[in-house]
Every structure is written in C-alpha cells, then in structure tokens.
Structure 1
Amino acid sequence: MGQALQYIKNQQPGLMAYIEDGNCEIPNNLAENSIRPFTVGGKNWLFAGNPKGATANAIVYSLMKRQKLMT
C-alpha cells in the first residue's frame, strides 16, 4: 500500500494536469486493448453448449491471457 501511495505522490504533477486543464484526455488504449479479444469473441462464447463447455472456454481463455502477460 505504501508503494502505491508513493507512486501516486510521484505522479501528482502529471495527474494534476488532467484536473486543471479540461482539454487533456486520459488515454485508455491499454485497457481497451486488453479486453478487445474477449469482447470480439463474445458471440463465440454463446455457443459453449452447456455450463461445462463455458467453464472450459473460461479456463482456456484465462490460460491464453496469462501466457500473453508472461511474454
């Protein structure tokens, strides 16, 4: 928790720019890119067939996401 608070304190000048200048936009590309594969494949999840199939899909997706994060 202390490290997180120190990080915020160190980032304060940059973060204040968003508060003081209404023309600044906060980029959310990282968040959008991380959920894109799941949202694009959303229709595919409808065809899991049953709860066991949905669980299997979730496990495979989680493993793929974890592997991507580790590389």
Structure 2
Amino acid sequence: MGRVHPFLDDGRICLTNNAAERALRGIAVGRRNWIFAGSDAGGCRAAAVFTLIETCKFNDVDPQAWLADVLARPPDHPAKQIDELLPWNWKAGQIAATAAA
C-alpha cells in the first residue's frame, strides 16, 4: 500500500500549492466579470479556455501564438492527430520545425 504523503519519499514534490494559486489569481481577480458568461455552458467553455491558456503558460508556450495556430488548423487537421495540438506537443513540433528550417 502506498504512502499517504508521497512528498516524504520524493524531495521534488512541492509541499504547497502556491504555484497553482498564483496561476489562478488573474481569474479570481476578474470573477465579477465571469458571472456574465451568459449561461452555465458559457461558464464551462470559459473554464476550458482558461485551462488551456494556463497549460500553455505552464509548458512555456505563448498562449496567443498557440491559439492563433491551433484555431487556424482544424479544417485541415486529421481528427486522429488532435493530440498534436496540445500545448506540450505543439511546442515540440514548433521546435522541430524551426530546427528543420
């Protein structure tokens, strides 16, 4: 049976959630604006977009560049390769394309 506190075995695990709280601070500051999302579905879509943007930041990807590229691709991009558009895979693809050029 695993340990209840894995940070006792692995010194790389952070003891706090400060990084996650800092990432959400901008959203919390604007929370009065988010009540105007229009509907519950609009709120869910906003949460999904915020999650993708924070995932970009976490993976050192420029969210604006990622969104511009990813939103321009879907008509031509195969559905079976949608995982290539995730921020961590997209960054790797950009690096490979730059190295090949």
TM-score, normalising length: structure 2 = 0.42
Higher gyration radius (CA): 1
Written as runs of structure 1 = structure 2, the 5 A alignment for 1:1-71 is 4-7=7-10, 30=19, 32-71=21-60
Q: What is the RMSD of the two structures over their aligned residues, measured on CA atoms?
A: 2.7
Identity %: 35
Unaligned runs of 5+ in 1: 9-27
TM-score, normalising length: structure 1 = 0.56
Q: Secondary structure at the match of 1:35?
A: helix
Q: How many residues align?
A: 53
Unaligned runs of 5+ in 2: 12-16, 61-101
CA distances 1:2-36 after superposition (whole Å, capped 9, x unpaired)? 7632236xxxxxxxxxxxxxxxxxxx864542221
Q: Considering fraction of residues, name the structure with more helix.
A: 1
